Structure 1
Amino acid sequence: MRESVQTVQAEVMMSFLVSEELSFRIPVELRYEAPDPYAVRLTFHLPGDAPVTWAFGRELLVDGIAGPCGEGDVHVAPAEADTLGEILIRLQVGSDQALFRCSAAPLVAFLDRTDKLVPLGQEGALADFDAHLDEALDRILAEEQSAG
């Protein structure tokens, strides 16, 4: 695990649940960056494929450890009601979905470290939305100019 002043990073093993009969363990990198204080990033290293990164709200991951939550593309919930043993993370794109299971302990440890870097509820003090918007617009303009 590496950590800088602005970043919290960890690697956990998750089970990729292909079906009720088939699953395999994969490494997943968890990353949190203070300049983007609302988001966590999970990079899934699937065998034979390029790594896939999903970014979603840190609060969704926090809430999903305690109980089912999420709308749209990302759902997080305890695997068993009333226990904190394992967590299910379901990612969906259109009708395709992927389901992952992991121990709650490394997620809780990771989130605790993110909270020490940027306490929950204080993200707004660090988020520079104007800078993020300017950066995104600059990228879009550069891509349009290079394509045209």
Structure 2
Amino acid sequence: MHIVVERELELRLILSPERSVPVPARLGYRSDDPYAVHITFHVDSAFPVHWTFARDLLIEGVFRPCGQGDVRVWPSKADGRSVVLMALTSPDGDALLEAPAAQVSAWLERTLLAVPPGSEGGQLGLDDGLAELLAQ
């Protein structure tokens, strides 16, 4: 049985230091893909945007700056609130998104309860598959 942990929330797309727009999003985690988190932006639109990156990157980014290349994550403050910033880069463009830290942290905690750190490999069934191959 696979576990799915989802959370809908509103992110802010930072356009400039003075301007941002709301972006509906869904955080997703699946125990059958235990190393990854999935974020879908524009959830109710005809063309949602999907991003997938390491769960560890988001966990670390809640506490300190991390990542390089296409995904960077770091904690910050906005209007006195704790937020998590995510800088995403693709050939189609760049985006800086702000997420409420408390909601992201609570969701991450649920993913860690579903699949504790260090136990991800056991979720993939590699040992069973290897045993089956060697038995033949």
TM-score grouping bracket, smaller chain normalisation: 0.7 to 0.9
1:121 is aligned to 2:124:
no
Equivalent-residue separation in structure 2 for 1:30 and 1:84 (angstroms)? 20
1:99 is aligned to 2:92:
no
Q: CA deviation at 1:32?
A: 0.2
Task: Please say if residues 66 and 84 of structure 1, whose CA atoms lie closer than 8 Å, have aligned partners that are also in contact.
Answer: no
Task: Please say if residues 72 and 88 of structure 2, whose CA atoms lie closer than 8 Å, have aligned partners that are also in contact.
Answer: yes
Report the more deviating stretch, 19-28 or 111-120: 19-28
TM-score w.r.t. length of structure 1: 0.76
Paired residue for 2:41? 44
Q: CA deviation at 1:49?
A: 6.4
Give the letter aligned to residue 125 of structure 1. G
Secondary structure of 1:99's counterpart equals: strand
Q: CA deviation at 1:26?
A: 1.4
Paired residue for 2:82? 85
Give the letter aligned to residue 11 of structure 2. M
Which consecutive unaligned segments of at least 5 residues does structure 2 have? 128-136
Q: Which has the higher strand share?
A: 2
The share of aligned pairs that are identical, in percent, is 38
Paired residue for 2:131? none
Deviation per residue, 1:37-68 (Å, 9 max, x gap):
00000001189761101000000000000000
Residues 101, 41 of structure 1: alpha-carbon distance in 2 compared, 3 angstrom cutoff: same
Task: Please say if residues 86 and 101 of structure 1, whose CA atoms lie closer than 8 Å, have aligned partners that are also in contact.
Answer: yes
Q: CA deviation at 1:5?
A: 5.4
Paired residue for 1:27? 24
Task: Please say if residues 68 and 78 of structure 1, whose CA atoms lie closer than 8 Å, have aligned partners that are also in contact.
Answer: yes
Number of residues paired by the alignment?
125
Residues 103, 9 of structure 1: alpha-carbon distance in 2 compared, 3 angstrom cutoff: same
Which consecutive unaligned segments of at least 5 residues does structure 1 have? 131-148
1:75 to 72, 77, 80: 72
Displacement over 6 Å in runs of 4+:
46-49
Task: Please say if residues 2 and 30 of structure 2, whose CA atoms lie closer than 8 Å, have aligned partners that are also in contact.
Answer: no
Equivalent-residue separation in structure 1 for 2:115 and 2:76 (angstroms)? 28
Task: Please say if residues 13 and 95 of structure 2, whose CA atoms lie closer than 8 Å, have aligned partners that are also in contact.
Answer: yes
